[in-house]
Amino acid sequence: MFIVDSHCHLNLLNYRKNHHDIDDVIAKAVARDVKFILTVATDLSDFVNLKKFISNRRNIALSCGVHPLNKPESYNIEDLYSLAADAQVVALGETGLDYHYNKDNKINQQISFRNHIIAGIALKKPIIVHMRNAFKDTLNILKEEKSESCSGVLHCFSENQSAARKLLDMGFYISFSGIITFNKIKDFDRVINYVPLDRILLETDSPYLTPVPYRGQENQPAYTRDIAQYIAIIKNIDIEILSEITTNNFSKLFRIPKLNLI
């Protein structure tokens, strides 16, 4: 079985307390069939450090971008293009809009989001979209900037079925994290059932959003298997089938030949 963690932050894990090093994290993941990881940058300096951190490990890919809460007005656009053109980079992001924590910076967030979409189209790389309390503006910008030209994924999806439908209609993928195991999201199993298998990705967003039954612990890529198992039960299919389909989805969206994943 081959599972992909399509969104995590490897450099933010607690290596002093929970892991010997990055290879320890990878070994724990592989032991649970999580055999490829996309680690996501949150600003440009983070990307530079992340690239050094993972080195040339074949089972890890990178994204490059500026998170909407990380001073989206402060970076140089030319630097974004230059860094994101790196061969190890398979996506732009994470980018998007977050009005939950910062409503006073909407304009700068929107400008940065547009810049990432434009860069994704120019570089022929998909975008990884973060969205919180900003669905209307997110959808409008995706449409206005013709994001279907580069495609992308709405990461850590926790919206309703209507939102899922609109994103799917634009050709986007939906990524589910440990949030789906939380009791506080009412009737979310219906959303999981609604999203077709060929448009689903799996992610941990580790070290955040640890799934049940590990709540209270730091999240890690190994727990992608638990998210896969939860979705497989909801959709009444074998986890082996789900893992194969979601791995194919990852390969297709991020333009990584499947042979390069294995």
pLDDT tens profile 91-114: 999 999 999 987 789 999 999 999
**How would you list the strands of the sheet with 152-154, edge to edge?**
3-8, 34-39, 60-64, 89-98, 127-132, 152-154, 173-176, 200-202
What's the CA dihedral at 42, 48, 53, 58 to 10 degrees? 90
Digit-coded pLDDT (tens) for 134-144: 999 999 999 99
Which candidate, 260, 259, 236, 251, places its Cα nearest to that of 6?
Answer: 251
CATH superfamily of 3-261: Metal-dependent hydrolases (3.20.20.140)
Residue 262: both structure tokens together? 């294995």
Cis peptide, bond prior to residue 72, ω within 30 of zero: no
pLDDT, residue 227, reads 98
Q: Which residues are annotated as a binding site for a divalent metal cation?
A: 7, 9, 94, 130, 155, 205
Q: Which residues are annotated as a binding site?
A: 7, 9, 94, 130, 155, 205
pLDDT, residue 94, reads 97
pLDDT in tens, the chain (262 residues): 999 999 999 999 999 999 999 999 999 999 999 999 999 999 999 999 999 999 999 999 999 999 999 987 889 999 999 999 999 999 999 999 999 987 789 999 999 999 999 999 999 999 999 999 999 999 999 999 999 999 999 999 999 999 999 999 999 999 999 999 997 777 899 999 999 999 999 999 999 999 999 999 999 999 999 999 999 999 999 999 999 999 999 999 999 998 888 7
Angstrom distance (rounded) from CA 208 to CA 196: 26
pLDDT, residue 250, reads 99
Residues pairing with 154 in the sheet: 129, 174
DSSP per-residue string spanning 33-95: TEEEEEE--SSHHHHHHHHHHHTT-TTEEEEE---TTS-TTSS-HHHHHHHHTSTTEEEEEEE
pLDDT, residue 102, reads 77
pLDDT, residue 53, reads 94
